[in-house]
Each structure stands twice: as structure tokens, then as C-alpha cells.
Structure 1
Amino acid sequence: MSARTRRDKKKSLKRTTETKAVRATFRIYVEGAATEPEYISALSRLPELAERTAVEVLIEETGAVPSTLVDSACEDKRRNDLDIDQYWCVFDVESPVPHPNLKGAMIKARDNGVATAVSNPCFELWLVLHHAAQTAFLETDQAISIRNAIDQSDGKHLAAADYMNRRTEAVRRAKSLEKRHRNNGTDFPDENPSSTVYKLLEALKVDVSQD
């Protein structure tokens, strides 16, 4: 091989290395076995994510409470053999009986660099916000009923396209609720209805500029 050929090959390899996208890695812990994983999976297939973001969803045992999710995420984050950029926990507050130790779970997540996406009363509220505004207090069963009436689902599985195309409205409505609670001086975990799942979309850099 001539010196010129070797130089050309090195340049070619350098260009390939420079243009190769580095994929961000997200590990997301959820309590739901179907709806949340299906929604997040649909996000990961969006064109702006598929090539540059690796998303792994870990489903805890059925009925896992937020503190269990946070404990698992913090424990994994301390390991040296995992190459993860961001750790997230997606969970619900629940109503009329909230999950135990919610504030403690949030503090532990914050102190250990684990992000949270919390829906009050439940993830179905986040789904409802894709289709309609919701400002009145909701119990979990009410939120599930509204979601089922909107998408005619069985309450579990998700017609992802019906939601991906409406994500801009969901983010706008969630932020509006957050601002409303802040102006009213309402603190966690009493901000019902609310959802910070929009923060996960922002971290993933999902395009919400238009539907």
C-alpha cells in the first residue's frame, strides 16, 4: 500500500468517526406493565429519536410503588458496569389514596441524580391531555374512564399514533396546569391534576413544535 493510499484511508476513517452520531442512552423505570412502556416505545420510534437515542424501559413487579422504582434506579446508577446517560422514574401519585412515601421518593431521586416524570392522579391523565384540557380534580378511576372514552381502549393497550400526533397539545396543557398550581401555591403531591411527563419528552428532545 502506498503512502498516499494509507493517508487517504486514514482520512476516510477519520471522516467516518467524526460524522457518526453518538447515541444518548436512557434507562426508564415504570410501574405500569402496558400503557407506559407502549407510550415510551412509541416515542423511541419517532424519527428524531430513532437514530440518536437508545431507550430501555424496565418494568418493576406489578404494584410497585414509587419508592421501589427510585430505589432500583439509584442502585443501578451506582453500578460501574452500566453506560447510561440518564435515569428516569415514571410513576403515579394515585387518588383517593396516594402512594406511600412520595416526598421521600422524590427527595431520594433528586439527591441521586435520577429524574422523575410524575402524573397526578395517574398516567392516564397525561394521555387525556393529548386530546382535551383537564383542570378539575380527578380520582384515578375517573381519569381511567375519561381516557377509555377518548380512545375506546380496553384501559391497557395504546393506539400510539393517536397520541404521538397530539404530543404538542399534551405538553402545552401540562405546562399550563403546572403554572396554575404554582400560582395557587399548591405543592407536591397535591397538584391534582398534573403531569410532568412532558419533562421526559424534553429530555429525549422529542419534537413538540408542531403536530
Structure 2
Amino acid sequence: MTSSAARREILVFTEGEKTEDGYLLPWRRAYRDAVLLEIDPFHGVPLSLVERAVATKKAEARDERRGRGRAHDEIWCVFDINSHPNVPEAIQLAEAHGIGLAISNPCIELWFILHFRDQTAYLSRHEAQSAASALLGCGKTLTRPAMELLYNGYKDARDRARRLDAKHDGDGSPPGSNPSSSVWSLIEAIRAQRL
């Protein structure tokens, strides 16, 4: 077992309070020897999340320079596109400050759908939520069997999400168009075995 001092530390800010936290729980458990995955209690719209993440990163860097603790190795924000205002500003701010982004368009339920099947056509948030609920057999609060299905289906979902990115790139759609999800990039950061 790796000592806790050697573990990478990742701080995640999530838009929602239940679904994203539930999804990340099996990843937190599976990689706990290599990564300390912490979910911040603050939740909000994309720009608020990113602003809080940037402020946290700056405060941690300042404290670390003063010998008061260690800054997280990575800070991420997880949010949906939905119809949120200021998403481009949130993305730009995150990129300017080295904050990782795991964005789903229209919502995280699209990411869940990708664990089971391809989804190349546009879909509304309500359509995505309904389809994910049917596939997982639960609503926004993920059950243990749903979490296991998602954990075990990760590689298929990642591959499908990457193919969606390539599809959008190939047809000239803007990056992150509906449907798309970059949640896989956060999971890859958690799974990375850099020590």
C-alpha cells in the first residue's frame, strides 16, 4: 500500500449534489491507494464552480508557499451544459488557470447512456435523463447496482465519447456540441498511476 504522503490529490467541484458524487464514489474507492479524491461541498452553476475552483487553487498555492500544507495536484469542475448562462466564460476561465473540466452536453446522463450504447443524435436534457433512468433502473440518486454498471462500462463509454468528439470534429461542429461528454478525462486523471 502506498503511503498517504505519496498519493496524488485531486479536488473536484460538481454542479449537482447527488448524481456526480454518486458516480465518483466507486472511482474514489478503487483508486484510494494512489489518489485522494476529494469532492468539495460547494455546488453551483458552471461559472460559480470555476470561480470557486480558481480561488481555491490560488489560496492553496499561497498556503503551500508559506509552508501551510500541500496544494491539490489537480482541481476539476464537473458540470452540464443544459441552458446555463456564461458557459464559454467558465471554460475560458478554467483553461486560463489550469482547472480541469469534465463537461457533458446536454447533461451527465448522456455520459451514463454512453456506457450502454452510442448516442450520436442531438438529445434534450429530459430525453437523456429519461433514457439514463431506464438503462440504470434509478433516478438521480445512483443505486449501488447502477454505480457498478457504470464503473464496469467505463472503457466503452470513454471510447464512445471520444468517437463523438471525432464526429463533431469531422462534421465541423464546435467542440463540446450536443451530444458530448468529457467526463472520461477526469476518470483518466484518477486512473493515472503517476507516483
Could you tell me the TM-score, scaled by structure 2's length? 0.87
**1:72 corresponds to which residue?**
52
The structure, 1 or 2, with the larger RCO (C-alpha pairs under 8 Å, 6+ apart) is 2
**CA contact under 8 A between 1:88 and 1:117: conserved in structure 2?**
yes
SS in 2 for 1:71: helix
Which runs of no fewer than 5 residues in structure 2 stay unpaired? 64-69
Shift of 1:59: 3.7
The count of residues paired between Structure 1 and Structure 2 equals 181
Question: Which range moves more in the overlay, 125-134 or 73-82?
Answer: 73-82
**CA contact under 8 A between 1:31 and 1:59: conserved in structure 2?**
no
**Counterpart Cα distance in 2 of 1:20 and 1:55:** 15
**1:175 corresponds to which residue?**
162
Structure with the greater alpha carbon radius of gyration: 1
1:40 matched to 2:24? The reply is yes
**2:132 corresponds to which residue?**
147
Shift of 1:154: 2.6
Name segments (4+ residues, structure 1) moved above 3 Å. Answer: none
SS in 1 for 2:112: helix
Shift of 1:160: 1.0
Question: What is the identity, as a one-letter code, of the residue corresponding to 2:34?
Answer: R
User: Alignment RMSD, CA only?
Assistant: 1.7
CA displacement 1:157-195 (0-9 Å, x = unmatched): 242111111111000000000110011111145x10000
**Counterpart Cα distance in 1 of 2:45 and 2:151:** 27
**Counterpart Cα distance in 2 of 1:184 and 1:115:** 26
What is the 5 A alignment of 1:3-42? 20=3, 22-42=6-26
1:184 matched to 2:166? The reply is no
**1:110 corresponds to which residue?**
95
Question: What is the identity, as a one-letter code, of the residue corresponding to 1:35?
Answer: T
SS in 1 for 2:130: helix
Question: What is the identity, as a one-letter code, of the residue corresponding to 2:52?
Answer: S
Q: Sequence identity, in percent?
A: 34
Question: What is the identity, as a one-letter code, of the residue corresponding to 2:183?
Answer: V
Which runs of no fewer than 5 residues in structure 1 stay unpaired? 1-18
**CA contact under 8 A between 1:77 and 1:87: conserved in structure 2?**
yes
